[in-house]
Amino acid sequence: MDPQTTEAIEWRRETGQVPYRDALAEMELRNAAIAVGEARELVWLLEHPPVYTAGTSAAADELLDPRFEVVEAGRGGRYTYHGPGQRVGYVLLDLTKRGKDVRCFVHGLEQWVIATLAIFGVEGWAVDGRVGIWTNDIDGREAKIGAIGVRVRRWVTMHGFSVNLDPDLSHFTGIVPCGIEEFGVTSLKRLGLDISPQEWDEALIAKAPGFLEDLASASGRHSCEA
């Protein structure tokens, strides 16, 4: 990775599970520190113990079976599941330095995940009006392989994305994932790929310069290009 990119952003990779509430508290503190120039930007890659998280648009009837702890996340979006086998990326960037365009930031996250999936031979895509990263499942039907959910405070981003490497897909049945009933959820394992968290992280980091360059380019335009 470009040394300047490394110096500007701290890359933190966890090998153990981090409780969701602990991660949320850490993000709040780091967000405030970045905003006042007391900390570097952060990309934090980790996994959580099983948890359902509720975004600001979560509807009560979309929580079907609260078998795990349910946490109000404060991010945009609806209900999401996190758990072992799912790699989460929390991206805390200062948009005052990277263009004050939340739409471009979200688009950039989507394209970053899609580019990383391509390294493993998986075609992914985003769909207007349907949050998340999509691919073709083993039955040929479209299914979600990654989720996107962000929050911006003081023009510093929080939360980010998750990608299903090898989670227990039955855990998603306790919610309507992201409020979308008509599509299923899949994983790299279900698609026949054994990808470790370390392999995923390395591939994601390899594609990070493109993500950051896209943000820099977008900051000079009036709108984000699809």
Q: Is 224 a catalytic residue?
A: no
Residue 44 β-bridge partners: 12, 90
* 115, 126, 147, 178: the active-site residue: 178
Q: Are 167 and 173 in contact (CB under 8 A)?
A: no
Query: Residue 11 and residue 147: Cα distance in Å, rounded?
Result: 20
Polymer length in residues for the chain: 226
Query: Residue 54 and residue 79: Cα distance in Å, rounded?
Result: 5
Write out the DSSP string of the chain.
--HHHHHHEEEEEEEEE--HHHHHHHHHHHHHHHHTTSS-EEEEEEE-SSEEEE-TT--GGGB----S-EEE--SSSSEEEE-TTEEEEEEE-BHHHH-S-HHHHHHHHHHHHHHHHHHTT---EEETTEEEEEEE-TTSSEEEEEEEEEEEETTEEEEEEEEESS--GGGGGGB-GGG--SSEE--TTTTT----HHHHHHHHHHTHHHHHHHHHHHTTSSS---
Catalytic positions: 178
